[in-house]
Every structure is written in C-alpha cells, then in structure tokens.
Amino acid sequence: MKQIQAAPYPFDFDPATLGLIVIDMQRDFIEPGGFGASLGNDVSRLGAIVPIVQQLLEGFRRSGLTIIHTRECHRPDLSDLPLSKQNRGAADLRIGDVGPMGRLLIAGEQGAEIVPALAPKSGEIVLDKPGKGAFCRTNLEEILLDKKLQHLVLAGVTTEVCVQTTMREANDRGFDCLVATDATDSYFPAFKTATIEMITAQGGIVGWAAPTNNILEALNA
C-alpha cells in the first residue's frame, strides 16, 4: 500500500487498483469561442491548469496506470440532448449551434476535442458522456470493474459541476476518490473552494483532496 498526504486525512491506495480520470479538458470549455465562453465565462482560469494536469498525466503514464479521459458531448442529431439541458440559461449560442470551433459540444467537432497539450496517448480510454457525471449513460462503471480499479484520482473541469458530479457518482458506487486540487478549476473561484470543502467535510463524506505534488510524490515513493 502507498499513501497520499491529503485532506481530511491520508489517502491509502494500492497502485494496482489506482486510476486517473481527467474530466472534460475540452476546447469548448477551455478556449475562447467555445461553449464556456458563450455562457459569458472567463475561460482563462481553466486554461491555467493545463500544465498541472499535464504533469499529473505524465506521472500516471510513467507509473503505467490506467488513465481515462472524458468528453462532454452529444450526437450530431441531438438525440441524447434533453430539452432541459439544451434550453438552460440565456446563452447567445446553445448546444448544437455553430460557433468558431464548429457546433458546440457535438461529438466530432473541433470544440469537443481535448486540448492538444492533454491529448490522450495510445491505450488510454476516451469516454464520451452526454451528462455532467461520467457514469450517466456510459459504461464507465463496467470499465472500472473490468480493470479492477478501486481508488480514483480525479482532475479536470469544472470542479463544482462535472468533477463533483462524477466524484459523487463514484462514491455511491463504492469507489474511493481523491480530487487533485490544483488540477481542477471553476469559472467561479468561490465555487471551487466550496466544492472541495463539501467533498472533504464530515471526515471525507465524498472523498479526499490533495495537490498534484503530493500525488506524484506518492506514485514515485
């Protein structure tokens, strides 16, 4: 067993059962002209974590551990997009509309792709999901069980939406989860802070939290 120094207390794990899930590090959320920007957000906050996520990815690659990338996107015919999601907010552009990087959050379009610096390597899993949580209408649980994973490190965007939703879904399914605090972010700094506090409160009711350096130190120990 190894141990990551984390909040609210150390995260013990068996390297054989550890995997990394990098959530939605897509151009549509991170670059100007994408879906995130269409909602009026400052996307530069999310772009700033790309080098840290890259460090985390390289650490898991060196250790030969399972890496899963997710992308939030929909079918071109929008058959997996409920109206309750399509019509939310007062955006100038909605999911499926044409933006500078193609149709927003549509599979196969430029904006739905993972940013080049974090592009998946051969053998890494890329999972498209139509919802916020990575377990919603996907085979993620089957993948984790097939690979005999129990301990999960989560990174990506945004902290309070897709990352937290996935972490709570995983917790309900019996997986032990840790969020990499500096490898995730939100368009709203206060939301990130509150999310990490909620995750680690009450003795880690949802899971653990630790900076990337602590995670890499444990992998290298």
Catalytic residues: 24, 129, 162
How many Cβ atoms are within 10 Å of 155's Cβ, its own excluded? 28
CB 56 within 8 A of CB 211: no
Helix, coil or strand: residue 73: coil
Question: Shortest CA distance to 208 belongs to which of 147, 167, 161?
Answer: 167
Q: Which two tokens mark 194?
A: 């509150």
H or E element, residue 27: helix 27-30
Give the whole-angstrom CA distance, residue 62 versus residue 65.
8
96 with 74: CB under 8 angstroms? Answer: yes
Supply 14's token pair: 């068996």
Residue 118, token pair as written in the block: 């974090």
Task: Fill in the amino acid letter for 88.
Answer: R
Rounded CA gap, 70 and 26, in Å? 9
In the chain, the amino acid numbered 97 is D
